[in-house]
A and B are shown apart, each in its own frame.
Chain A
Amino acid sequence: MRFRWWGRKRRQELHEELQSHLEMAARARMERGEHENEAARAARREFGNVGLVNEVTQDQWKERWLEDFVEDARYGLRRMRKSPGFTAIAALTLALGIGANTAIFSLVNGILLVSLPYPHPEQLVSVTGAYPKGAFVAMRQQIRTMDVGAYAEGHELNLTGFGEPVRLASTSVSAELFSILGARPDLGRTFYAGEDVPGQGNFVILSHALWEQRFGSDATILGRSIELGGESRQVVGVMPAEFRFPSTKTQVWIPLQNDPRNAVSFWAGDFMPAIGRLRPGSTLGQARTEIRMFQSRVGALFPWPMPASWNANASVVPLQSGMVADVRPRLLILLGAVGLVLLIACSNVANLTLSRAATREKEISIRTALGAARPRITRQLLTESVLQALLGGLLGLGFAREGLVLLKVMLPSDTPRLTEAHIDWRVLLFTGALAILTGVVFGLAPALHSSRAALTEALKSGGRGTAVSVSQRLRSWLAIAQVAFAVLLVIAAGLMIRSFWSLSHVNAGFHPERILTARITPNESFCNDAKRCLTFYRSVLDQVQAFPGTSGAAFVNTLPLGGRVSKRSLVVEDHDLPPGEDSPLFWLNVVTPGYFRVMGIPLLSGRGFTDSDISGAPVAVVTAETARRYWPSQNAVGKHIRLLDDKDWRTVVGVIADVRAYDLQRSAPEWINGTAYVPYNSAATLEDRRIPAEMTLAIRTASDDSQIVTMLRSGVASINREVPVSEVKSMGAVVSEAVSTPASTMTLLVVFAALALVLGTIGIYGVLSFLVSNRTREIGIRLALGAQRTDVLRSVLGEGAKLSLAGILLGLAGAFAVMRVLSGELYGVGAADPLTFCSVAILVAVVALTACYVPARRAMRVDPVVALRYE
């Protein structure tokens, strides 16, 4: 307001000033005898254009800074256009550094740092360890410092009566779980306390995605009943799309069935993770103490003795860190790697700017001599640096956006909270600011120096003064650092490649080629009648075996690398249990005859299963590892095992090769004592003393898979229209899913390493090019005095080799020190693998020397005559 008033007053005064000039001029003419009108006109004519004078005078009031800025910016842009190569390299360098960092950091931020999307997330905790329903119910009653909830993920239920039957991923939750999280439904309600006991909880809550896809976002579904796993459940709620607890996979939530009368399910069923919300006034430490005390009592509640080691390290941790504990080390490794890329990018920018700055020292000296003020020059260089950085930053933003999309695709989809990650502006600003700062600091160097150095000195030496040798030394160090960082990253990538290679060339114990797999899963209740269940699978198998283009098919309850383990306690002949020790826990594979042949699992001794084993004497097959463990120096064939609670001993009729069934590194988790196979019949019961009701079909195919899938679907439907066919995929796909995590880590590290190598190469190239152009005159003199061109080549290459070698050695030393952080991600290769270290050193040396060769050749071709006339 004041400014406008001030401005108006000033304009008014100027107007009066000019008017008074006109009047005085006219009066002077009148005094000389001119007529009044004539005098006024003449005075005006003599004065000129009043409006224009007014305007140019007002121009003087304006501050100059804006115009200066525009002028600087214009000059800067012109310079950028004039040297497109420099501009492009600098912008790209910055963009890659900023982009990669922003993308990775956004991911890390979204997964590790951003609070969980629930109210008061700081109160949410996770109880480490896993508890059966009985132990959880006791915990809920006894724990005072927090409200606790439990959930069992990974169950599946058939949805029938709504078009084709489908298999849904369900999570069973304690009634209070939603209120503990503070999660509200989009529609309807969540579960009420007391609904997680039998007879009270025939309800289901739908995920938003399922509601959309399967029920067409129909709000009237609330209150209606759907057929889920053979039971009718009333839909009471739909969760919002953002609600993804415990993971994105869950499609329906149903209440747990806490039934103390069913001792096996109550005390030995699902071992579930528990979460809690600290009550007001309680601390994490108090909750931890209380859980430890609870843990010391809970073992006594079990109907059977529990080993003291069970949940011995139970503790309470913040829910957020509990949920992402598995991905944290991997993300931190990636963050470290991408941080190195940023460092390289920054030193590259510094290097580029320094080299250009050196060439500008003369220009700046001249401008200073011509009277340009030092702040003015500083401001101009600053403007140029900022312009350059802005260009890089904009490009970087683009890279970051695309990069994040790519990252989300590349990372395994079960990475927790992956979908929550989005571009983080703070990160972008941070990396951008860092890059800009680098550019500015190094961009200003010539301005600061030239103002200090004697003007004439700089002009005389033409840019080869002391400042150059200082900046040359700095530039050399920067180049060495870049090479060292690049070596670090390339070694990390190399180790991951080696590790991945050994992982994918591991002998998995089966042949995944040309095997099609599909889950065929009637309701659990359907298999209450074991005979009906067995007949169903039998008829499916009969149909499939008759398909053209198949050369065998078999059912198994747990497919290798399929992510499922089936446990069974049993008794092993010759291995009487010492008192107080548990019976060994086996991974019990229930298979139909022909399974070993279909999967290509080699039989080491004895025989596989035949059709007569279905109804004949009880038999079993064990793996080589198990045979070695229990009968080390004897033949396992002919020995006996007995499923706990069974009367009949099973005779071991064969030993098969070990199968990497748990993951590609292990045949079984460490809490499993052995692996056995039994034929699928009514005696093949699992830990819940029921025969498996969820089987996976493996078909060895010779022809088009899609044709077989169609036949399979219609075939199963013709036998039972309520049974869904799900997870149809090739065994090859199952295997690659098992390595998707190391694959993504490896790919990212390789990308970063390539980036680092490219940037590092640019760095070395830049340093040498500058060196050569600075020494053109000297080289010319040498050549004129009779030096051989090869000497020149050798001298320049030697300079480059010195830098590269220093960088490589530093990098190797660094790698030796820090590669240990990778060891958790490596398989079949040590963190200090000499082969990787050596090949990386050679690779980087070759690349660096190639980069040196270009400027070296230019040096060799210097024409002495031209060089001496130069300047």
Chain B
Amino acid sequence: MAEKRERYQNRIELLQGTLDLLVLQTLQWGAQHGYGISVAIRNRSGEILQVDTGSLYPALHRLEKQKWIKSEWRISENKQRAKYYRLTATGKKQLTKERSKWAQLSDAIAGVLNPLEDESEP
């Protein structure tokens, strides 16, 4: 059990920055509940990114604690009670920051992965 739990925690660590970005971005389009967020990420990534619930819910609660998102209970379109999360003003700023960091990172990684292009430039 303890071992398993540690594995979960490790996964949070690995995904942390990225998952936060994905969650914030998903909420950019409107308030959503946990299940909705996981479905949205899966669909938008063309079924590639399977968000683990053991990562998603801790991330949601962590982001809420950081006051980047806010939660409230609502009745869903299927007449079901669910906890909805929405982006706060600081969350929006954070999203902008995370996006530019992500851009930098992917540029940097791209630079590493394609060294030839780099070298061809004077």
Contacts and interface: CB of A to CB of B under 8 A. Distances in A.
A14 B83 CA distance: 9
**At the interface, is chain A mostly helix, strand, loop or mixed?**
helix
Interface stretch (B54-62, B88-96, B108-116): B54-62
B33 A20 contact: yes
B120 interface: no
Nearest to A43: B35
B58 A48 contact: no
A572 to B, nearest CB: 101
A56 B8 contact: yes
A60 B8 contact: no
Nearest to A17: B83
Contact of A52 (B5, B36, B76, B78): B5
Given A56-B12, A61-B65, A48 B52 contact: yes
Given A13-B83, A24-B78, A25-B35, A56 B9 contact: yes
Interface residues of A, number: 23
Contacts of B45: none
A55 B8 CA distance: 10
B35 A48 contact: no
A57 B57 CA distance: 6
What class of interface size applies to chain B in its complex with A? Answer: 20 to 34
Given A47-B53, A48-B52, A59 B80 contact: no
Contacts of A20: 33, 35, 80-83
A21 interface: yes
B4 interface: yes
B35 to A, nearest CB: 4
Contact of B62 (A16, A24, A60): A60
A53 to B, nearest CB: 5
A23 interface: yes
A60 B65 contact: yes
A48 B53 contact: yes
**At the interface, is chain B mostly helix, strand, loop or mixed?**
helix
A362 to B, nearest CB: 27
Nearest to A58: B61
A21 B78 contact: no
B34 A61 contact: no
B61 A57 contact: yes
Interface in A1-26: 13-14, 16-18, 20-21, 23-25
The winner among A28, A53, A56 for most chain B CB atoms within 10 A is A56
B78 A27 contact: yes
A23 B57 CA distance: 16
A59 B53 contact: no
B8 A18 contact: no
B35 A53 contact: no
Given A24-B35, A24-B76, A61-B61, A56 B54 contact: yes
A57 B83 contact: no
B35 A57 contact: no
The winner among A21, A27, A48, A49 for most chain B CB atoms within 10 A is A21
Contacts of A18: 34, 53, 57
Contacts of A59: 9, 58
A18 B54 CA distance: 11
B58 A57 contact: yes
A56 B82 CA distance: 20
Contacts of A25: 35
Contacts of B81: 16, 20
Contacts of A27: 78, 80
B9 to A, nearest CB: 6
Contacts of B60: 57
A21 B54 CA distance: 13
A60 B54 contact: no
The winner among B9, B33, B58 for most chain A CB atoms within 10 A is B58
B61 A21 contact: no
Contacts of B33: 17, 20-21, 24
A23 B33 CA distance: 12
Given A24-B35, A59-B58, A53 B83 contact: no
A21 B34 contact: yes
Given A21-B33, A21-B34, A56-B12, A48 B61 contact: no
A47 B57 CA distance: 11
B53 A53 contact: yes
A421 B19 CA distance: 66
Given A21-B35, A48-B52, A53 B57 contact: yes
Contacts of A57: 57-58, 60-61
Contact of A21 (B53, B58, B65): B53
Nearest to A59: B58
Contacts of B12: 56
B8 A52 contact: yes
A679 to B, nearest CB: 97
Contacts of A13: 83
Interface in B24-76: 33-36, 39, 52-54, 57-58, 60-62, 65, 76
A55 B35 CA distance: 18
Given A17-B57, A52-B4, 6 more contacts: A20-B35, A27-B80, A48-B52, A56-B54, A57-B58, A60-B65
Q: Which 10 A-B pairs have the closest CB atoms?
A: A57-B57, A60-B61, A24-B35, A21-B35, A20-B82, A17-B83, A60-B62, A53-B54, A57-B58, A60-B58
11 contacts: A13-B83, A18-B57, A20-B80, A20-B81, A20-B83, A21-B35, A24-B33, A24-B76, A25-B35, A52-B4, A56-B58
